[in-house]
Amino acid sequence: MLPDLLWRERWTAIIGRIRVVRSPGEEIALLHELAAAKPNRVLGFVNAHAMNYIARDSAFYAALASADILLRDGSGMALLYRRRVVTAGLNMNGTDFIPKILAEFRGRRVALWGTEEPFLRICARHCERDFGVTVVSLENGFRDPEHYAGLVEKVLPDLIVLGMGIPKQEYVASLIRSRTAGAALVVCGGAIIDFLGGKVRRAPGWMRRSGLEWTYRLVREPRRLFGRYVIGNPVFVLRAIRWRPTRKVSVHASGNRQEIS
């Protein structure tokens, strides 16, 4: 466990980096920005699990902090924002947002790295059929990070979707960003390839809208997700109650820069 001040500093730094998307119009503008991104930009998502992880893992914190754009993901983060009297904006969870990114890359070259067969190939067919992209590389999610970094300049994708989960995908994204110059956008996608490949089912719409998708996933995968949700969620809530910024933090919300205090 990190000293109290250190995890508070890490939370403060990451929260100061998260972009709050306040409206569907801002979401569309962000999609256009991502599609026109300069080479080697990384998009990451910050949820309660990620916040717990940065409180104990220095390498993961460094990798997450190196991303160019971070988005708020999940009801836990919304709770944290609202506790500090700051607008939380839209829930930019990757499972919903990444398909929109894929659609924005219609006609362009995409690499899908993560999960395992046959779900990886099913996901590729889904992406080509529904989003009009050209999948130029498929790799399972169990290789060394160096392997993926070495593929970039051979494959030359416009978009890389990493579906390896925390913390590996953030390590891989950071390594790609620092060592190569061949990818326009790298997205840390969590379970997105599993979802699109049919390995994992989405919760019913009413559960997603109510912020309860995590309970659905826990019921379906109790052994794998017990630590993340049953232990991790209470730990996150306790930290959220205790957290105070270690310095002034401003976020884009309600059309202005709002100070968190």
**Which pLDDT belongs to residue 179?**
83
Q: Residues 145-203: pLDDT tens digits?
A: 999 999 998 999 999 999 999 999 999 999 999 887 767 899 999 999 999 999 988 87
In the predicted structure, residue 216 carries a pLDDT above the cut 90: no
Q: What is the pLDDT of residue 69?
A: 96
User: Where is 59: in which H helix or E strand?
Assistant: helix 58-65
What global pTM score does this model have?
0.90
State the residue for tokens 């409206």: 23
DSSP 165-234: -TTHHHHHHHHHHHH----SEEEE-TTHHHHHTTSSPPPPHHHHHTT-HHHHHHHHSHHHHIIIIIIHHH
Nearest residue to 158 (alpha-carbon basis) of 193, 108, 192, 106: 108
Give the pLDDT confidence of 72-104 residue by residue, as tens digits: 999 899 989 888 768 889 999 999 999 999 999
Per-residue pLDDT at 110: 97
* Average confidence score pLDDT of the chain: 89
How far apart, in whole angstroms, are the C-alpha atoms of residue 153 and residue 179?
A: 10
Asked whether the CA dihedral 23, 27, 30, 36 is positive or negative, the reply is: negative
In this prediction, residue 205 carries a pLDDT of: 81
Instruction: Give the pLDDT band of residue 254 (cuts 50, 70, 90).
Output: very low
Highest mean pLDDT range out of 163-177, 200-214, 245-259? 163-177
Whole-angstrom distance, CA of residue 108 vs CA of residue 157: 8
Given this model, what pLDDT does residue 42 score?
Answer: 95
Say what the pLDDT of residue 260 is: 65
Q: Which residue's structure tokens are 């659905």?
A: 216
Main-chain phi, psi angles of 33, to 5 degrees: -60, -45
pLDDT score, position 107: 96
pLDDT at position 142 over 50: yes
Give the model confidence (pLDDT) of 33-56 as tens digits: 999 867 789 999 999 999 999 999
Q: b/e for 51-85, b at 16 or more Cβ within 10 A?
A: bbbbbebeebbebbbebbbbbbbbbbbbbbbeebe
Q: Rounded to whole angstroms, what are the CA distances from 140 to 120, 145, 180, 187? A: 7, 12, 20, 16
